[in-house]
Structure 1
Amino acid sequence: MPTVRLSEIPADVLALIEDRTGPVLKTEHMSTGLNSEIAARVHTADTTLFVKGLRQDHRRVWTQQREADVNPHVRGIAPALMWRIQAGGWDLLGVEDIPGRHADYAPGSTDLPIVADVIGRVADIKAPDIIVRTMPDRMKAHTDAPELFAGDTLCHTDWVPTNVLITNRRAVVVDWAWASRGAAWIDPALWVVWLINSGHTPTQAEQWAARIPAWNSAPRAAIDAFARATVSVWEEITDGQTEPWTLDMLAAARAWSAHR
């Protein structure tokens, strides 16, 4: 379930931020993203930062730790973490502000090769020891063969277009809260579903995935099992939900699984 986003930065949080940054001149609240209570671009006299945060007793506060743990390992791919505040009942991350726009996954988009390139770069990163959540563990309720998804690669796992910023003809990947350890082909496979949701046929989507070396070396049976498991994941997500985008993703997952 998404976390409720605050429309204003509370005064106590603003004071914590200003202890690090100096006086805040302006804030811009972000409407995208599902994990944070606070997500805002913060402007000071000297710099602009992106600040995301949760109360320390929030059930998803672990996502703040995951972001902080992963960040040193994805420099050049993700915005740099500048500071972290754990005080006053809040857990806040101050992140490098990246000017850019969200990626366009539609057929014919010039962003597609840029996104394929960055997914390939992520697929080359060995998961650091601090990543203890594994894809077999995450998917065990959705398949009878979770061992097929095992590996030592750092997997981002959340390729919604709003998590990919296009800037200066390169892609920067944000929101590493769901980073996991798994097979190198998993991120390309998850991208396939988002491409289908964006208007590609399953064949076209897999052709884009084929630009990523890890996809081409993946066992066919493993991808087939993952496609079936992905349908189960989205069936669970949409159970009792009426949000159109989740239903669209379920339809895309079903189209991919049928294609496989």
Structure 2
Amino acid sequence: MADVSTTAPARLSWIDLPEAVRTAAESALGAEVASDVTQPGGFSPGLASRLVLGDGRQVFAKAINAARNPRSPGLYRREIEVMASLPESVPAPRLQWSYDDGDWVMLVLDDVDGAMPVQPWEPGEFSRVLAALEQLSDSLTPAPVTAMSIVDDLAENFRSWHAIAADPALLGRLDPWARTGAERLAELESGWAAAAAGDTLCHADLRADNLLLTTDAVMVVDWPYAVVGARWIDALLFLPSVAATSSIDPEQAWMSFRPARGADPDAVNAVLAAVAGDFLYQSLLPAPGNLPTLRSHQHEKGTAALDWLRTRIS
């Protein structure tokens, strides 16, 4: 399955938002919304639209409440904190306005005149993105904003091999290599926290639909999962999605990534094991409401991460 889902979640339109939310946004923006165009990609079941204002300006807006997805409002609140503090040097849209009434949460950001990378990945665009990630790791080390440590944020997610190994029903749904090696993978995963610690601000959810290519930049959008960790974390989390949607070799790409050259291979393997376990475990759970394509996406990325890990430790 491609990162840019061909079966998008049912998203909200501008008119679907409560009148109070729409009125507050139009008042803050100083103009009425003349039209909205739902944007492709991603898994959000909320509003994700390019809004055209009555005075001709364009902005990007996203909004959701707990009824649409219980986790999303909290993530949007995290994103508001990060976007409000990102330095101008970071290639990301600027936050223009935010709204939070305790139920609905909304962000209004600069509209980016760009396009998502072509899928499957085209080598030239991929090389451009990987070079941008090197620059991003430089500009975000040390972290210029306060964010949660990756060690705290993913403490539960990144012990998934332990959960899988302890559940015969889940274990039986994995491929033979993973089934027979689950205990080894759980042991490998146990070292991820020390391996992932660092002082770099990481996006932590990079994939094709969170990137926009403009004529002169690679813009990084959607920052709700931002954490502080090792400077090579973003590339490690990104490459399984590339491998799942193209013929690009993740190990070859990894070896060409400058921050990866100083990384301890055992540390990398520990984090990669945790990433693979997390995606595969999540893919075995029932699908959450309003996110029909999420589990298949997680399966594709988990399988790609595990295949990559297998080449490194076999």
Q: Give the corresponding residue for 1:132.
A: 148
In 1, distance between residues paired with 2:66 and 2:283? 28
Answering whether residue 70 of structure 2 is matched by residue 64 of structure 1, we say: no
Q: How far 1:74 sits from its partner (Å)?
A: 4.7
* TM superposition score normalised by structure 1: 0.88
Q: Distance in 2 between matches of 1:154 and 1:79?
A: 16
Residue in 2 aligned with 1:20?
28
Distance (whole Å) between structure 2 residues aligned to residue 121 and residue 227 of structure 1: 22
CA distance in structure 2 between the partners assigned to 1:4 and 1:192 by the alignment: 28
Question: Which has the larger share of strand?
Answer: 1
Q: Does 1:73 align with 2:73?
A: no
Residue 242 of structure 2 contacts residue 250 of structure 2 at CA under 8 Å; is this kept in 1? yes
- Would the alpha carbon gap of residues 36 and 16 (structure 1) be closer, same or farther in structure 2, given more than 3 Å must change? farther
Residue deviations 1:84-136 (CA, integer Å, cap 9, x gap)? 12348422111000021112364643211221122112212122452024246
3-state SS, counterpart of residue 206 of structure 1: helix
Q: Is the 8 A contact 2:73 2:104 kept in 1?
A: no
Cα drift, residue 80 of structure 1:
0.7
Map of 1:157 onto structure 2: 204
* Equivalent-residue separation in structure 2 for 1:106 and 1:217 (angstroms): 29
Alpha-carbon distance between aligned partners in 2 of 1:99 and 1:49, rounded to the nearest angstrom: 10
CA distance in 1, matches of 2:153, 2:106: 28
- Cα 1:137/1:64, change in 2 over 3 Å: closer
Q: Does 1:114 align with 2:128?
A: yes
SS in 2 for 1:101: coil
- Does 1:52 pair with 2:62? yes
Q: Secondary structure at the match of 1:93?
A: strand
Of structures 1 and 2, the one scoring higher in RCO (CA 8 A, sep 6+) is 2
- CA-to-aligned-CA distance 1:159-217 (integer Å, 9 cap, x gap): 2200000111421000101111111111111122122112235xx32322334321111
* Identity, % of aligned positions: 24
Aligned length: 257
- 2:96 aligned partner: 82
1:52 alignment partner AA: K
Write the distance in 2 (CA, Å) between the matches of 1:32 and 1:137.
Answer: 24
SS at match of 1:175: coil
**What is the TM-score normalised by the length of structure 2?**
0.74
Moved more, 215-224 or 116-125: 116-125
